[in-house]
A = this chain, B = another copy of it.
Amino acid sequence: MSIENRKQTSSPPDAPGASALYVGSLEKGFRVLAAFSDDHPALGVTEIALRTGLDKSAAQRFSNTLHQLGFLEKDAATRRYRPGRRLMELAYTYLRHSVLGAAAMPRLIEAGSVYATTVNLAERDDTNMIYTVRIPHVKAAYSATVPGRRVPVFCAASGIAVMSRLSDEEALDIIARSEMTKRLATTVTDPDKIMKAVHQARRRGFALTYAQQLPREISVAAPIIDVHGRPVGAVQIPVYSPAWKQSEAAAKLGPLAIETADGISGALVASEQEFQP
């Protein structure tokens, strides 16, 4: 009967929280937002339900709530939802008081003007790097100019740069916990090869990768070190073949990335020490 196929009492073994201090509804709300991040500009209730694993009712309620709050927009004609402008506010919430962002911003701007290249700040978030500040200089693929993008540590120059300042154990741990999916055919997923790149970066002071995220992309990155000596992120400079050669990028952008990253590291230490002089 209809009683039979109600919700199963056993909640998924132990998902994120599961404790009494964990509000599942909140997670579900964010799952709905995450449904849009793949490659879907607009979704209807049914599609949201499919993508999030929520049932139709839940998808309906969460979409509606998110809409009321302004985080989703609703197309009156198609009745499909799209991410709302108000999501940008949340980025502001983070960046506004970011000491790293504040330390990096002027230096990134300056660095970008040297060779008229885009310059990015990438911060590590466990096994991912998140681009938090982007200073676009040349016309690149739009999605490559958008802040908030996440890429796995193991296949990003910025990630290699960060790992080069961690112990080998820590680096291997990150790699082990990463999902080794290739974004391109040329993406390196062999742990040995990744560690080789890490070691090379450790020697040179910067990392250089080719065609890991985008075709023909040469990515140069140098690590940023915080007060405790930990690598928290990287200055990353992307350029493209054939306008640039790898050797040229290494010779010019490597030192520039290092200089910029070191400047940021210094400013970071200085601003942290303001509080306990």
Contact = CB atoms under 8 A, between A and B. Distances in A.
A145 interface: yes
Contacts of A91: 87-88, 90-91, 146-148
A64 interface: yes
A65 B109 CA distance: 36
Interface string A137-169: 111001101111110000000000000000000
A95 B150 CA distance: 13
Contacts of A44: none
Nearest to A99: B41
Given A82-B97, A132-B85, A142-B105, A26 B65 contact: yes
Contact of A17 (B65, B125, B147): B65
Given A37-B96, A82-B97, A86-B130, A66 B26 contact: yes
Contacts of A205: none
A33 interface: yes
A21 interface: yes
As for how many copies of this chain the complex holds, the number is 2
Contact of A132 (B60, B88, B94, B101): B88
A222 to B, nearest CB: 19
A229 interface: no
A94 B101 contact: no
A200 B156 CA distance: 50
A61 interface: yes
A85 B23 contact: no
Most chain B CB atoms below 10 A, which of A60, A94, A148: A94
- Chain A interface size band reads 35 or more
A63 B62 CA distance: 20
A93 B41 contact: no
A246 to B, nearest CB: 25
Given A29-B23, A61-B21, A41 B143 contact: no
Nearest to A149: B92
Contact of A95 (B70, B95, B132, B147): B147
Nearest to A143: B96
A136 interface: yes
Nearest to A129: B85
B109 A147 contact: no
8 contacts: A19-B64, A21-B64, A22-B68, A27-B65, A34-B93, A84-B94, A88-B147, A89-B150
Interface of A: 16-17, 19, 21-23, 25-27, 29-30, 33-34, 36-37, 40-41, 60-62, 64-66, 68-71, 82-97, 101-102, 105-106, 109, 123, 125, 130-132, 135-139, 142-143, 145-150
